[in-house]
Structures are given as structure tokens and as C-alpha cells.
Amino acid sequence: MKPRQLPPWITEFVLLAAIWGASFLFMKIGAKQWGPLPTAGLRVSIGAVCLLPFMLLKGHGAAFRQYWKITFLVGVLNAAVPFALFTFALLTISTGLSAILNATVPMFGALIAWLWLKDRPSNLRILGLLVGFAGVAMLAWDRVGLGSAGGGYAATWAILACLLACTCYGLAASIAKRTMQGVPSLVSATGSLIGASLFLLPTTVGYWPKTPPDLHAWVAIGVLGAVCSGLAYVLYFRLIAKAGPAKALSVTFAIPAFAVLYGALFLGEGITLWMLFCGIVIVLGVSLSTGIIQSPSAKSGMPKGK
């Protein structure tokens, strides 16, 4: 009996998860010297510079001119605001915790699609939303401590910033679903990063650090923009083409594992069993709420009873 062969796209899947997991590490390193807003602004600017030539070489210039307004708007919600919020949060909380919270993005997307687009989920997916939010509540309760030594008010604001960032991601997804059907993915990504760069330009310049950052901070920003934004988007598009959007979306669940590992190895961040347990609860809720885990009748296509 021949051993089962791995899918041809699995290497890019793991690489993408490893790169996006590292983005939390580089955001934390960069934010300490650059500050949250310049870190986010430089990230999207470098990413835009990397993707723009690639988009033009692919012959998408006409599509970009046609859809630049909506891609710029989506970029504010899908890159500028969430990147700034996550970078702010990483000044207080660990990379692993922020990455686990980031895994709730598909769950927020499903909730916003339900409330705004009237895309009502099944009872199983509603259960997933409840399970996912319960996992977030348990994780936040333990980390914040609500008056104990868990982190206090600074951690509270940091966790709220992460959840607001995830809400922005979900809102951007619903806007894109309504207004960007048929827009090439590379045009969406490039336009989003350019729009985010312009949006963050005033604060990037206004909050530019008075003390020049050292080499480590420069390297962190360069990798964050060129690799974690530019290269990662290219890998993501290739993964969608090879494996389909559902499998590409599931990369969200692998990111926290890498982020936790990087934080422990390079920053000495602690990993608790409670954090891992809450992470599993959140991933279970997201899997249910997004339809990745389905009931047997849904998988087999059996009609539901009246």
C-alpha cells in the first residue's frame, strides 16, 4: 500500500502560515522603536511598493484604474486600521495571545455577514459563534484578570484593540463581497495597500520617532512590509488558485501556532495551558461558524426536515 501523498500546495500553505505568524513578532519588535502608527504605515507602504510592479506586469493596470476607489476604501478597513490596532496591542500583550485573537477573523466575518448582508447562518454555525465568543471571553478574563495580576487595564485596551481589528477585517470582507465581485485578487491587494498607505501617511509622518531606530527595528520593518505583506499576498493568491478559497482561509488556524512558537523562542514569552485551551475553543467556534465543520446531513447534501 502506497503512503498517501501530501497535496502539492501544502508547502506554500505552511510557508504562508509561518510568514503571517512571524508578522506579530516583527510588529512587536518594530513598535517598540517606531511606535504603532509608523510601524503600520511603513508596513503597508513597503508592501504596496513590492506588489505594484507585480500587478502591472500581470497586466492589471486597467482593472486597477477602474476599481481604485473601492480598493482604497477596503484597504483602510482591511489593512490600515487593523494593522495599527494590532501593533498598538502588541506593546502590551504577547504575540501568541494577539495571534489567537486574530484567529477569530472568520467568525467576525460570519457575524457581520449575518447582520448586514442578511446571510443567516444555520443553527450549527450560530452555535459556533457562541462557542467562539465564549473562548474569547475566557481568554480575555484570564489575561486581563479584571483587577488581578493578569494584566489590568492596559491588557483590556490591548485585547479590545485586537477584537476591533478583527471586526474591521470582517466588515471589509462584507464590503468586498458586495462591491468587488470579479476584481482580480492582485488588484484588490495592491489597491488596498496603496489606500492604507495614503490613509496612514499623515500619522506615519506626524508620529515619526525622534530617536532614530536601530538596525534591528529597520530589519523588522523591512521584513514586515516586503515578506509579511508583499510576498505573503502573492503566496495567498497562489494558494487560492491551487487549493481553493476554503483551504486558503484555513491558514488562519495555523498562524497562532507559529506566532506562539516565535514568541517563546525569540521574546521569551510564556505559554500557558489555559491559553492553549482557549485557543482550541476559539478555533472550534470559528470552524463551526464558518461552515468548515458541518453536520453529516450538510456534508452528504441530504435535505433538512420541514
Segment 6-45, tens digit of pLDDT = 677 788 888 998 999 999 999 999 999 999 999 999 999 9
C-alpha cell at 171: 466588515
Average pLDDT of the segment spanning 89-106:
88
- pLDDT bracket for residue 304 (50, 70, 90): very low
Taking all residues of the chain, what is their mean pLDDT, rounded to a whole number?
84
CB neighbour list of residue 64: distance below 8 Å, 6 or more residues apart: 55, 71, 187, 190, 191
What's the pLDDT at 4?
58
Which single residue is written with the C-alpha cell 467568525?
107
Q: Is 153 exposed, middle or buried (0-12, 13-18, 19+ CB in 10 A)?
A: exposed
CA distance 236 to 223: 17
Residue 169: how many other CB atoms lie within 10 Å: 21
CA distance 251 to 49: 25
Backbone region of residue 268 per phi and psi (left: phi > 0; alpha: psi in -120 to 50; beta: other values): left
Measure the CA angle with vertex 235, ends 245 and 42; round to 5°: 115
Q: Yes or no: say if 70 and 179 are a contact pair by the CB < 8 Å rule.
A: yes
CA distance 167 to 173: 10
C-alpha cell at 240: 487560492
- pLDDT bracket for residue 210 (50, 70, 90): very high
What's the pLDDT at 175?
86
Question: Who wins on pLDDT, 56 or 252?
Answer: 56
| pLDDT tens digits for range 226-272 | 999 988 888 887 777 677 655 676 777 788 889 988 998 999 988 78
Average pLDDT of the segment spanning 138-165:
74
pTM value? 0.84
CA distance 114 to 121: 7
What's the pLDDT at 255?
87
Question: Who wins on pLDDT, 144 or 87?
Answer: 87
CA distance 282 to 132: 4
pLDDT reading at 302 higher than 50: no
